Structure formats: C-alpha cells, structure tokens
Amino acid sequence: TDSATEFTRIHFKSFKKLFDLSVLRKQNTNDSLFKNNFKMLSSRQLSHNIDSIRHLRDTMDRRLASNVTYFLHYTQVPERIWKKAKPATTGNKDQLIPDSLVTLVKDRALSAVNELRNIVQYHQTDLDSKTKDLRLHEMEWHRKFALSLSCLILFFIGAPLGSIIRKGGLGMPLVTAIIFFLIFHLLNMFGEKFVKEAVLVPSIGMWSSATCERRRS
C-alpha cells in the first residue's frame, strides 16, 4: 500500500490524553482598571467630575469661538470702521476684486470654509462625547439617592402588606406586591434608557420610578 494512504490501527487497553488547560485559568482583572468608571465613584466624586466636565465644555465653547473668529476676519473690524465705509455703487460684487486676484481669493475662501467645517465637526464630536459623559455621571449621581428613597417607599408599602398576610390573607397582598415591584422595575429601566438616549434629563428619568411609587403609596 502507498505510504501516503496507509491506514494504521492501534489496539490498547488504556489511553491517557493530556489537555493543556492553562488558557482557561482565571485571571483577576486589575482593580485600578475600573476605579475611575462612573459606576464606581461616590456621590462626592461624581459631583466633582460633573463640575469638571461642565467647566471643560465651557472651555471648549470658548476655544471654538476663538478659532472661528480667526477665520472670519471681518468680525474683528471695529464698528466705527464699518460706519465710515462707503457702500459699493455697483451691483456686481465680482467687480470689487481685480481679475488677477479672483482665483486667489476664491481658493483662500474655499480653504477657510473647509477649515471651519473641520473645526466645527471636530468640536461637535468632542462635545457629544463630553455631553454623554456628563449625562452618565449625572444619571449615576441621581441613581444613588433615588434608589435609597425607593427602598424606603417599597418598605412602607411592604409593611402593611405583611400585616395583611399575618392575618391569613396571602393571594391579594402577594399579587399587589408583585405589581408594585414590576411597576417600579419597568419605570426604573425605561427611565435609565431614556436618560442614556438623551430623551429625558437625569433629574426626571432617574426619579420617575421613586416618584410614581410615592404617589401610589
């Protein structure tokens, strides 16, 4: 038989196969990796970060205004100069520019417009990122207090239900407790989702569940 297609049959009483399981070994994540995540911060740290992000956004707006002003030279001309300027007597603006400079002026204008567009796009991308980061920090700050209040509200709802169960009733109090919990869970879940999608502000989205439970109680 050709060695390339040779078939070998091996007989054995026992067979030991060793597998290398080192790749499945648990690796603990470094604690410092998530220590700055907004979910790991205290309310005081969240407040500090919120103030820092708001200040950074204001700085970005001022920097954008400065960059835009650099390209729009006519905005830097004093008002008294504009008042002294004589209006053009011709209706054709192309006659105000010599023919030898028309191409140069158009190229510089187009270059300035492209630069302005890139600056605005970069600023908008950076601003969206900072706004989302601010929204997540505010959401987590409100969550810490809203959940605490929700626990108290659900406790005061559960205490009367427990007294009713002690008297012998079980069905209706249990159903009522489940309904209250489902309402709270759904409102909390949808409120958080709407805040992340910028549909609601954090002060409304994260307190909607606690407010609704307080009114029902």
Distances (CA, A) of 170 to 115, 159, 167, 175, 217: 71, 14, 9, 9, 20
Higher-pLDDT residue of 41, 162: 41
Q: Write down the pLDDT at residue 1.
A: 45
Contact 161, 176 (CB under 8 A): yes
Cα separation, 14 vs 203, whole angstroms: 69
pLDDT band at 217 (very low <50, low <70, confident <90, very high): low
| Per-residue pLDDT tens over the stretch 108-145 | 888 888 888 888 888 888 888 888 899 989 888 988 88
Instruction: Quote the tokens at residue 187.
Output: 């409102």
Q: Select from 209, 215, 195, 217 the least CA-distant residue to 148.
A: 209
Whole-angstrom distance, CA of residue 93 vs CA of residue 102: 11
pTM of the model: 0.63
- Six-digit token pair at 70? 């650099």
pLDDT at residue 33 in the model: 65
Cα–Cα distance for residue pair 147/188, rounded to 1 Å = 9
- Please give the helix or strand (H or E) that residue 121 lies within, else none: helix 99-166
**pLDDT tens digits along 64-113:** 888 887 777 666 666 666 666 555 555 555 566 677 777 887 888 888 88
> Mean pLDDT score of the chain, rounded to an integer?
77
